[in-house]
Structure 1
Amino acid sequence: GYATSKDGLRWVKPKLDVEPGTNIVLRTSRDSGTVWIDPSPRDPGERFKMALYKGNFALYRSPDGIHWTKAGDGAKTGDRSTFFYNPFLERWVFSIRSGSRLGRSRHYWETSDFFAFADTPEVKKQTVVWVASDSADPPRDDLKAKPQLYNLDCAGYESVLLGLFAIWRGDYRGASTGKAKELLDLGRPKQNSVCVGFSRDGFHWDRPDRRPFMPTSEKMGDWNWGNVQSTVPCCLVMGDELWFYVSGRAGKSFPNTQHLDSGASTGLAKLRRDGFASMDAGAEPGTLTTRPVRFNGKHLFVNLDAPEGELRVAVLDAEGRPIAPFDREHCRPVRGNSTRQAVTWDGAKDLSAVAGKPVRFRFHLTRSSLYAFWVTPDPAGASYGYVAGGGPAFRGPIDVPSGTAR
């Protein structure tokens, strides 16, 4: 079905011409599916791309997300396989469910031609082992099952590939004793929760925090009592927030149902923009010094929460020596809570004097939290980074100055 929204909260199901009087755009069976808007389609009729899993991937194309044409059958995969576009590589990547000694895991296949994902010996040969859950993923106390990677969705966000890892931590089916049997009798769904990871190259992952980023609820009757999973393309950038749409299931606790996978709903999780992590300082000042970096912009911006504190920045050369006038003493203190604040120095209009040179930034913080920093050619602070699924302020996949098409 097809629905639209002006605010991302209230949705309208229009009456379309595919099946007159309904919002149905494609009547077909499927276990799961992925839809992606191509930022630069080779053909306007392929702006929307879709893969539906039903034993293998069925590949579709559409000019408007409403009128779909089947483009062919893709390779055979496991259920809950997905795909995404890696903007850094300018390649389509298929995140393929597979099995290994680690249980559910993912294989990887990339291509410049989305519709080339066919059931051929060449595709099978090019598909490689990618990623799985590991010993750092904690099991649940009630199930004690070894965690497995149920799904991985990805999107370009700023300068990294953002990954949402659906980690399976067990299923109550088959439980015969203890707390797990009690929850089986109550009809609790399988325990998938979503964790977060980051990648610089699109293949190798950094997952510093293994706690669920979007967890299941422990309260019977809640919409996300079990089987929480992500959607593509991971999140939207809505002003100062990131919005994550996520599915969950209430199981048998959903009214008038008798199945553990019943009661599916869509929820919304919100996060401060760039709010995945922060460097924090209290009353005792703290410092953060970067590795040497080069940049072509000339305006430094920070995402900072400092309602009762402040931040100052010094620019150092590659050996760690302050570069005048970009030292701490000449930096104007940055205060307040904003996802986009400019950093300036007395005696310099901007950072043009050090652009293109290897420098370090040293951040001096007091009673503040630093979430992100970036250097940009835009005096208003557009980052020129990727914005995952986009948002109402953007005309394309990149954060560029207002009015710029990109």
Structure 2
Amino acid sequence: MKQLMLVLLALLGILEAPVLQAGETKPLEIGDQRELFVDNYLIDRMKGTRLRLHHPVDEGIVLKFDKPWEGLFCGYCTVIKDGDLYRAYYRGRPSAGKDGDVGEVYCYAESKDGVNWTKPEFSMFEKAGFKKNNIILADAAPMTHNFSPFLDTRPGVPQAERYKALGGTMGSGLVAFTSPDGIHWKQHPAGAVIPKKMVPFPYMFDSQNVAFWSPVEKKYISYFRVFKDKIRRIARTESDDFIHWSPPVLMEYTSRGEKAPIEHLYTNQTHPYFRAPHIYLAVAARFMPRRQVLTDAQAKEIGVHPRYFKDTSDAILMTTRGDNTYQRTFLSGFITGGIGAQNWVSRTNYPALNVVQTGPAEMSVYVNQDYAQPTAHLRRYSMRLDGFASVRADYAGGELITKPLVFDGSELSINFSTSAAGGIKVEIQDENGKPIPGFTLADSREQIGNEVDRIVTWKGGKDLKSLSGKPVRLQFVMKDADLYSLQFTK
């Protein structure tokens, strides 16, 4: 009981952190991987600082769903950065209908910068009387309901299977597809690789069901939609070969060490963050059934389909590190509805799969908006690299002390921003919290400015080779500043 009280007092900042006892805490092995402050993974304690969620900046419409084979019910978008080319995939659906019927196709657009998009013309499928269009998959119901492709980065993957995808509904199961170029697709001979019979839930698959190769777990991972207790939930399964999958496990949710609320999550959009692939980001669509915002008159004015304004939705941010738990560190909305009735209808504000880099210090997430309306489109939102969340200190100042960690590298890089009056100093301590000579706060050079990659220095320089491989703690003393991420580099 006494030890517990000491820990609680330390967390409140009343006492110093308790000294580690042998075997009490195993240092985190972070190597040279980038760590983001999107969860509490690195954090031992904070005093005068807090975790802060940042919101992407609306950059406007990038794709209008205005072709005769696209229309009001386009959705389930995926954006993939393949070298210098950005590829977008989305369901084309001009009129309401049953999930998985023949009226659904999958469309394609591409961009050289992620900002300006074009729709190439192919002649693979004739639809709506048009022989040339941007359709890359049709006449494949029900897989065209929610076709979700990914670029397979597994070492040694055959060129003919460089792109893979899952698609289907409960009746078909999740069916595997492959493509050499992301445009020409064929169904894998294995067919339904995740069949209904292997999923122990009453309803499943009727959403965007995502998959990817994890370079950290060295497996294919899939996250797909299920229902439990009439609530839209997420299950996870894994595979060594994309064909044979493990029994699915239901994902749970925690928020800063506490059990998080269970809300309807329509799409999960889980994917490895491209600058830190051991962290899987989920920019998920949160669905609020029967939470009606618009009156009948408002709905009629914007031309929304009569069945699609009785609910509302937005996007939330979650993370997971490969287990069966999502960290919902932030319960509030990540991308919320904008000004105007068109932003407060059913199934709008649904994020596309993947966050991609679109500039030297910029990344983008894309959002499906104005659903079931003549103005349906895909919109771009921008953020700074790693800028999902930060450790924030206001003008009064504060500090963050990490858990004991072991790194591999010779320099410490931070992604940070300050005001003109603010700054960050870094002290390196041993695992028991004792400052290491040469790397104390008194030795630290204050970091002022706004950079995504600043090398921290002390009076003696920046070389940390002598500490590499040893358990240490980092203390950040901050004023009017945000710390987004850190990485030890070689």
TM-score, length-scaled by structure 1: 0.77
Pair 1:298 & 2:410 matched: yes
Pair 1:338 & 2:451 matched: yes
Distance 1:153 1:182 in 2: 34
Structure 2: runs of 5+ lacking an equivalent: 1-106, 126-130, 197-203
Please name the residue that 2:271 is paired with. Answer: 155
RMSD over aligned CA atoms reads: 2.8
The change in CA–CA distance for 1:204 and 1:237 in structure 2 (over 3 A counts) is farther
> Which one of the candidate residues 101, 105, 130 is aligned to 2:251?
130
Structure 1: runs of 5+ lacking an equivalent: 118-122, 138-145, 256-262, 378-406
Identity across the alignment (%): 26
Q: Please give the per-residue CA displacement for 1:215-253, whole angstroms capped at 9, x wherever unaligned.
A: 2235213598852212222444632122001112344xx
Please name the residue that 1:34 is paired with. Answer: 148
Pair 1:80 & 2:207 matched: yes
| Aligned partner letter, 1:316 | Q
Q: Give, in angstroms, the shift of residue 196 of structure 1.
A: 0.6
Please name the residue that 1:24 is paired with. Answer: 135
| Aligned partner letter, 1:208 | T
Pair 1:376 & 2:482 matched: no
**Greater mean alpha carbon deviation, residues 360-369 or residues 127-136:** 127-136
Distance 1:276 1:170 in 2: 27
Q: Give, in angstroms, the shift of residue 50 of structure 1.
A: 1.4
Distance 1:238 1:84 in 2: 26
Question: What number of residue pairs does the alignment pair up?
Answer: 349
Q: Please give the per-residue CA displacement for 1:242-289, whole angstroms capped at 9, x wherever unaligned.
A: 2001112344xx34xxxxxxx432111112222222222233332111
Q: What is the DSSP-based 3-state SS (H/G/I as helix, E as strand, rest coil) of the residue aligned with 1:45?
A: helix
Distance 2:355 2:324 in 1: 17
The change in CA–CA distance for 1:116 and 1:338 in structure 2 (over 3 A counts) is same
1:295/1:356 contact within 8 Å kept:
yes
Please name the residue that 2:471 is paired with. Answer: 358
| Aligned partner letter, 2:440 | D
Q: Please give the per-residue CA displacement for 1:7-59, whole angstroms capped at 9, x wherever unaligned.
A: 11211223346457443322234211211000125311110011222443232
1:36/1:232 contact within 8 Å kept:
no
1:102/1:133 contact within 8 Å kept:
no
Please name the residue that 2:329 is paired with. Answer: 208
Pair 1:280 & 2:392 matched: yes
Bigger RCO (CA 8 Å, 6+ sep): 2
The change in CA–CA distance for 1:35 and 1:81 in structure 2 (over 3 A counts) is same
Q: Give, in angstroms, the shift of residue 293 of structure 1.
A: 0.7
**Greater mean alpha carbon deviation, residues 64-73 or residues 74-83:** 74-83
Please name the residue that 1:392 is paired with. Answer: none
Distance 2:311 2:168 in 1: 20
Q: Give, in angstroms, the shift of residue 171 of structure 1.
A: 3.8
Q: What is the DSSP-based 3-state SS (H/G/I as helix, E as strand, rest coil) of the residue aligned with 2:111?
A: coil
1:189/1:249 contact within 8 Å kept:
no
The change in CA–CA distance for 1:197 and 1:350 in structure 2 (over 3 A counts) is same
2:369/2:377 contact within 8 Å kept:
yes
Q: Give, in angstroms, the shift of residue 94 of structure 1.
A: 2.3
Q: What is the DSSP-based 3-state SS (H/G/I as helix, E as strand, rest coil) of the residue aligned with 2:243?
A: helix
Distance 1:209 1:25 in 2: 37
Distance 2:266 2:342 in 1: 24
| Aligned partner letter, 1:354 | L
Distance 1:243 1:130 in 2: 26
Please name the residue that 1:383 is paired with. Answer: none
Distance 1:171 1:87 in 2: 40
1:53/1:81 contact within 8 Å kept:
no
Q: What is the DSSP-based 3-state SS (H/G/I as helix, E as strand, rest coil) of the residue aligned with 2:238?
A: strand
The change in CA–CA distance for 1:250 and 1:109 in structure 2 (over 3 A counts) is closer
Please name the residue that 2:158 is paired with. Answer: 43
The change in CA–CA distance for 1:266 and 1:205 in structure 2 (over 3 A counts) is same
| Aligned partner letter, 2:137 | L
1:133/1:147 contact within 8 Å kept:
no
The change in CA–CA distance for 1:22 and 1:283 in structure 2 (over 3 A counts) is closer
